Amino acid sequence: MPTRPPAEPGMSLDQVTTPALIVDLDALEKNIAMLADRVKGNPNGVTATPHAKAHKCVEIARMQMAAGGSRICCQNVAEAEAMVAGGISSVLLSNEIVASDKARRLAALAHKAKVGVCVDHPTQADILSAAASREGVTLDVLVEIDIGMGRCGIAPGDEAVKLAQYIAGKAGLRFAGLQAYHGGAQHLRKPEERKAAIARAAEMARTTAEMLRAAGLPCDVIAGAGTGTWENELASGIYTELQCGSYALMDADYMRNETASPFVNALFILTTVISHAAPTRAVCDAGLKSMSLESGLPLVFGRDGVTYVKATDEHGQIEIAPPGTIAIGDRLRLVPGHCDPTVNLHDWIVAARSGKVEAVWRVARGW
Amino acid sequence: MPTRPPAEPGMSLDQVTTPALIVDLDALEKNIAMLADRVKGNPNGVTATPHAKAHKCVEIARMQMAAGGSRICCQNVAEAEAMVAGGISSVLLSNEIVASDKARRLAALAHKAKVGVCVDHPTQADILSAAASREGVTLDVLVEIDIGMGRCGIAPGDEAVKLAQYIAGKAGLRFAGLQAYHGGAQHLRKPEERKAAIARAAEMARTTAEMLRAAGLPCDVIAGAGTGTWENELASGIYTELQCGSYALMDADYMRNETASPFVNALFILTTVISHAAPTRAVCDAGLKSMSLESGLPLVFGRDGVTYVKATDEHGQIEIAPPGTIAIGDRLRLVPGHCDPTVNLHDWIVAARSGKVEAVWRVARGW
């Protein structure tokens, strides 16, 4: 029983079943072209490897590859499977896996596409090697180093070199370089804070790469970067791949970074006012089950005096103050606080232009 | 492309693809029986009308009806469709709708089941009446009154009576009573606070019901209650239907209410430790995309010294302190903060008993 799509191509946005995830195609195309233009022809040969964890959508990934992306990053095996099934020729699982069945599924993709994966522990390498050997394929492996995020990642330097040597000796695996993503730096509000964090990260990646080369291990790839910091990684002379994800869709939280972003908001939750039982308050049908709120409440787009003040599971409470007016049945566009986990709540993306639905895309769900 | 189920019946929990939503069947059955036993034979003829918004699962709803539930509450039309398709004979949409297509879908269900719906504005009644008339069916309508929650609901008293009269005059609609749910009271920590809030709510419902009867309108149903307050509504002598949802699954936040709950935790996120790159920290594969965190971080079940300290989109950071130990590949059971929006993140519920998968149930997604 797959869910019913909320719209059909050709519909007006007024006919879409709400709450619905809307992508403004003009804005999406602008964002994808903007990053591609800024990366194109850079002196260091850096490429964009856009992250599908933000949109989980093969149609958007295809647009990003057509704009010059060298591969698509994924955060889980189900995303990678969806991308390869949709014709993406090269994927990187920018994450660790330890389950044999996930390793087997990932290795199976390497019959149809180039497949990379991250490792920060020998056990992961053992499991991936066994799966790759059984499938008769080779997986490109990046050693993930902790360059300040404190999440996944082995320590830069000696430990990373030892792990890379271990990987290089495993059947079915090819050591390809370093994963050096600093997620914590993306939302530092001040540009100088983000710049300093990435300078430190780049330095750790640089010294580790030199130690790797000195140990006879080529280190072709140094991957990382996100929507908040990519200009720093691009300028570093160290990073070779930019894994920006949110840039294509954007969200209210990224808009709070203290720098004029070159990207524009392309993502909305379309919601309907279902109750208006008192003059200053109304209720819309978008709450916690259609938006992720850990990065703050959504903004109401283009409606002065109409504010989203509280979310419960299926309801959003709206306050109305002059000059705001609202009527039952009104449709509002909300800019969600955080795009990735908001997209993850939906089964479908409604792709629209000038108020008209052009396409309805499936969200690659599961793990 | 429906998502791949994370498990098959007969598997051990160690074989389930993570992150996965696990329901412990012993605990679920105990919770369903506990509410049923407490409601059975009460002097006021109150019935349980369990809420599917918590579990979104027709198999659980069937167990609740078999235990004596008089109908199943739903929060959106897609849930109601799934319940009726699964053989539930009576559903209440305990929410307002204003879209004609949703009204049409709801009315269509009334060919196969008894269907109720809430209204707090004449416009909703107009739309529902048109849909019911077109389908040749009758919808039971509850007027939702705001008894202290400040969300949906018309003011109790005169306004509610006027709306009920309006509904009673509409083709295809039958005025059936009042919806008087107080969501805000469910998580008040102290039992005396919850008792006082429901006493105020019951008094508003009582006076409104008397005014309705005086106006010649029968008010057979007064519906409300949730897992935090149902004992108060049951004892009130006013409420006739108890719409508890979370009681079947429970969550960490309800466990924080200062009363020994008769219900036990039945819901877990099963997660795998995918990274353990430093002695005191590890990372598991359950983050914001598999658990809703607006009611706090999850608790790690049955592992001393192992604490879930931070969630990002796809990762959970785990701190280890003596006597805790952890190994890469370990599986942890997490008790999520808030059950309803956590279930909503998943496509499948893995129903398990004594560490073994008995069934894999579909989550009724969509709107």
Distance from the B153 Cα atom to the nearest Cα atom in chain A, whole angstroms: 6
Check if the beta carbon of residue A278 is closer than 8 Å to that of residue B156.
no
What pLDDT is recorded for position A280?
85
Is A340 in Cβ contact with B289 (below 8 Å)?
yes
Rounded to the nearest angstrom, the minimum Cα separation between A365 and chain B is 6
Q: How many CB pairs under 8 A join A and B?
A: 176
* Range 236-255 of B in CB contact (< 8 A) with A: none
The CA distance from A187 to the nearest CA of chain B, in Å, is 13
Residue A32: what pLDDT? 98
Confirm if B122 and B104 have CB atoms less than 8 A apart: no
A253: its two tokens: 């939280």
Residue B271 tokens, joined: 């997660």
> Strand ranges (DSSP E) for chain B?
20-24, 47-48, 72-74, 90-93, 114-119, 139-144, 173-179, 221-224, 241-242, 267-278, 281-284, 299-300, 306-311, 316-320, 331-335, 348-353, 356-362
Instruction: Phi first, then psi: give them for residue A269, nearest 5 degrees.
Output: -100, 120
Q: What is the C-alpha to C-alpha distance for residues A331 and B298, in angstroms, rounded to an integer? A: 35
Q: DSSP E strands: which ranges in A215-324?
A: 221-224, 241-242, 267-278, 281-284, 299-300, 306-311, 316-320
Q: Is B258 exposed, middle or buried (0-12, 13-18, 19+ CB in 10 A)?
A: exposed
The backbone torsions φ and ψ at residue A220, rounded to the nearest 5 degrees and listed phi first, read -70, -30
Name the closest residue on chain A to residue B273, using Cα atoms: A98
Chain A nearest-CA distance from B77, in A, is 11
CA distance A96 to chain B (A): 6
Q: Single out the residue of B94, B93, B77 nearest to residue B85, CA to CA.
A: B77
pTM over 0.90: yes
Domain architecture of chain A: domains with CATH: 13-21+262-362 (2.40.37.20), 24-253 (3.20.20.10)
What pLDDT does A234 receive?
A: 96
Q: Which two tokens stand for residue B199?
A: 């006493």
Asked if A19 and B367 count as a contact pair (C-beta separation under 8 A), the reply is yes
Distance from CA of A314 to the nearest CA of B (A): 7
Q: Please choose, from the candidates A66, A116, A107, the residue with its C-alpha nearest in 3D space to the C-alpha of residue A86.
A: A66
- CB-nearest partner of A75 from B314, B344, B366: B314
**Contact map slice: A 266-285 vs B, CB within 8 A:** 272-278, 281, 283, 285
Count of beta carbons in the 10 Å neighbourhood of residue A260: 6
Query: Which of left, alpha, beta for B56 (phi over 0: left; psi -120 to 50: alpha)?
Result: left
pLDDT per position in chain A (367 positions), as tens? 568 999 999 999 999 999 999 999 999 999 999 999 999 989 989 999 999 999 999 999 999 999 999 999 999 999 999 999 999 999 999 999 999 999 999 999 999 999 999 999 999 999 999 999 999 999 999 999 999 989 999 999 999 999 999 999 999 999 999 999 999 898 898 999 999 999 999 999 999 999 999 999 999 999 999 999 999 999 999 999 999 999 999 988 887 777 778 999 999 999 999 999 888 889 999 999 999 998 899 999 999 999 999 999 999 999 999 989 999 999 999 999 999 999 999 999 999 999 999 999 999 999 9
Nearest to B152 among A75, A96, A275 (CB): A275
Q: Do A328 and B124 touch (CB under 8 A)?
A: yes
Q: Which helix (H) or strand (E) holds B200?
A: helix B191-214
Q: Name residues 24-83 of chain B within 8 A of A (Cβ).
A: 53, 75-76, 78, 82
Cβ A367–B121 below 8 Å, yes or no? no
In terms of Cα–Cα distance, which of A326, A337, A288 is closest to A310?
A288
Comparing CB atoms, the residue among A75, A272, A292 nearest residue B98 is A272
Q: Chain A interface, mutation test: which of B94, B281, B289, B290, most A Cβ atoms within 10 Å?
A: B289
The residue in chain B having the minimum alpha-carbon distance to the alpha carbon of residue A144 is B277
Interface residue B328 vs chain A (CB under 8 A): yes
What gap in Å lies between CA B238 and CA B147, rounded to an integer?
Answer: 13
Under 8 Å between Cβ of A68 and A46: no
Pairing mode, if any, of strands A331-335 and B306-311? unpaired
Three-class secondary structure of residue A158 per DSSP: helix
B53 contact residues in A (CB cutoff 8 A) = 313-314
Distance CA(B284)–CA(B19), nearest Å, equals: 9
CB neighbour list of residue A365: distance below 8 Å, 6 or more residues apart: A56, A78, A344, A347, B3, B347
What span, in angstroms and rounded, lies between the C-alpha atoms of B185 and B181? 9
A76 interaction partners in chain B (CB closer than 8 Å): 285, 314
Which chain A residue is nearest to residue B287, measuring alpha carbons?
A341
Q: Which of B74, B60, B66 is nearest to B28 (CA)?
A: B60
Nearest CA in chain B to A5: B366
The two three-digit tokens of residue B176, written as one number: 């059936």
Q: What's residue A1's pLDDT?
A: 53
pLDDT (tens digit, 0 to 9) for every residue of chain B, 367 residues total? 568 999 999 999 999 999 999 999 999 999 999 999 999 989 989 999 999 999 999 999 999 999 999 999 999 999 999 999 999 999 999 999 999 999 999 999 999 999 999 999 999 999 999 999 999 999 999 999 999 989 999 999 999 999 999 999 999 999 999 999 999 898 898 999 999 999 999 999 999 999 999 999 999 999 999 999 999 999 999 999 999 999 999 988 887 777 778 999 999 999 999 999 888 889 999 999 999 998 899 999 999 999 999 999 999 999 999 989 999 999 999 999 999 999 999 999 999 999 999 999 999 999 9
**Which residues on adjacent β-strands are paired with residue B242?**
B48, B224
* Helices A158-168/A191-214 angle, 10° precision: 50
Residues B39 and B68: their CA atoms lie apart, in Å, by 9
The string of DSSP letters for B134-161 reads HHT--EEEEEEB-SS--SS-BPTTHHHH
Considering only the beta carbons, identify the residue of A17, A274, A366 that sits closest to B3. A366
Q: Report the C-alpha gap between B366 and A140 in whole angstroms.
A: 38
Flag if A99 and B53 touch (Cβ within 8 Å): no
Question: Looking at chain A, which runs of residues are DSSP E strands?
Answer: 20-24, 47-48, 72-74, 90-93, 114-119, 139-144, 173-179, 221-224, 241-242, 267-278, 281-284, 299-300, 306-311, 316-320, 331-335, 348-353, 356-362
Residues A313, B340: C-beta atoms closer than 8 Å: yes
Q: Reading across the β-sheet that carries A241-242, which strands appear in turn?
A: A47-48, A241-242, A221-224, A173-179, A139-144, A114-119, A90-93, A72-74
CB B289 within 8 A of CB B336: no
Residue B240 and residue A134: Cα distance in Å, rounded? 62
Q: Tens of pLDDT along B75-89?
A: 999 999 999 999 999
